[in-house]
Amino acid sequence: MIVIVNTLIKSLTNHGANIIKIIDISELSEAENSGYDKAILIGLTLSPTYLFQLTHENDNVIDSSEFGEKEHQADELAEWAADFICSNGYKAFAQSERNLINGYFNNDTKATLLPHKKIAIMAGLGWIGKNNLLVTKEYGCAVCMCTVLTNAPFPTENKPIIMPRCKTCCVCKNICPSQVIHGTTWEPGINRDTMVDVYHCEGCLKCLVFCPLTQQYMKRNVVK
């Protein structure tokens, strides 16, 4: 099993994954975990150069090129990982956009049964910000994610859930051109709609880019 895990992690890393976490999801409801007891989180970070570009671009321009590419790449890596696990005799399901269309995504509520960010916070990767995005200490919100559910007996690394550290910061709320962010602090069991109006979000990425921790990540690494 260690050989399989090491091969999986090495292959994902070689193909661009910056973050790989394996956690136990057996205590979640079957509606959420679909009968699987493990989840693999695969994360790819947005480049500091791209974030710098978005920080200084014209307000009327939305460049989602790299964001879309990284989202697609995360999906592809998750689908490859699921195939790899299945080829070794276990079950696996990639929660890619293509797979979630088939009964796992509610078009009315714009929500999935088990969001990637829920798996991320169970792994202790970060917390949920007022923009309803995952916020990490190292990368801010600049992480594109996909997950794989599996029954493979992989070692797990669950961590205590990190409660929001945004405190009084409302940068994401104040910068949102559509005013869909309400400035509410996340807590377990909160109704997402009390935090953000996803139905009128324009996907401008400003709440992601201008999160202070995203900006710190960018400034530490951007080539000037």
The average confidence (pLDDT) of the chain is 93
Cα–Cα distance for residue pair 183/132, rounded to 1 Å: 10
Residue 105 has pLDDT above 80, yes or no: no
Residue spans per domain, the chain: 2-221
Residue 14 has pLDDT above 80, yes or no: yes
Residue 2 has pLDDT above 90, yes or no: no
